[in-house]
Amino acid sequence: MAYIKFESLILFEDDDYIVINKPAGVASLEDRSHEANVLQMARKYWSAAQLCHRLDKDTSGVLAIAKNPEAYRDLSMQFEARKVVKIYHAIADGIHRFENLMINQPLSANQKGVVHVDRFGKESATLVNTLDTFKIHSLLECRPLTGRMHQIRVHLAAVGASIAGDELYGGKPLLLSKVKRNYTLGKWKEEAPLIRRVALHAESLSFKAKSGEQIMATAPYPKDFAVALKQLRKYE
């Protein structure tokens, strides 16, 4: 993995919080591969740093980090009271026209970390709206009202809108050959997906600072997500 300068990821910083645009492919916490992770990078920048929530390794976007225990407790209470507004953008397989679709599906995870809908699982809710539609894909805005593992991925799969590239939950590779007419590939070459991960990006995060001021941070799309959308729009 190429070297990442933590300072280049910062979207917002005050005396209590650092909000960053996490790159895809970087774990929030230490994982088995022992590669660099967000917490490790954050603590080199600010020794008392503590993550206020997590993003999946392959998910890019907004991530909040507390600089002190009081700030961590305060934001944790906001998450628990569902006062934090998190918005994700996802490229989904298929054409979907969702308007304030509330997905209320309880979720459980098995020992391998695979999540599934389970009527005896934990309460989980996601609000979904369609932002744009293309030839055979849709750009969706997802607001999780709870914070379960893989929640958006499983909820979208449950309504037939699996995220592109999310093979674990039924998503298909995002291939240019599926959207571009008369697409040709060189002999002996294998087509690479437009985006080589789950096409999910944490676009914005809104919460209250300890001062009472509302903090709103928005993360620009990373290059792979932006390029995938550009190609979908070009050949729609």
Burial classification of residue 140, based on how many CB atoms lie within 10 Å of its CB (0-12 exposed, 13-18 middle, 19 or more buried): buried
**What DSSP element (H or E) covers 214?**
strand 214-218
Q: Which of 15, 16, 31, 56 is catalytic?
A: 56
Q: Report CA 91 to chain centroid distance, whole Å.
A: 11
Token readout for 4 is: 């990442």
- φ/ψ region of 200 (left if φ > 0, alpha if ψ in -120 to 50, else beta) reads beta
Exposure on the CB side of residue 150, measured as CA atoms within 13 A = 22
Judged by DSSP in three states, 130 sits in: strand
Catalytic status, residue 56: yes
Q: Cα–Cα distance between 186 and 36 in angstroms, integer?
A: 36
What residues act catalytically? 56
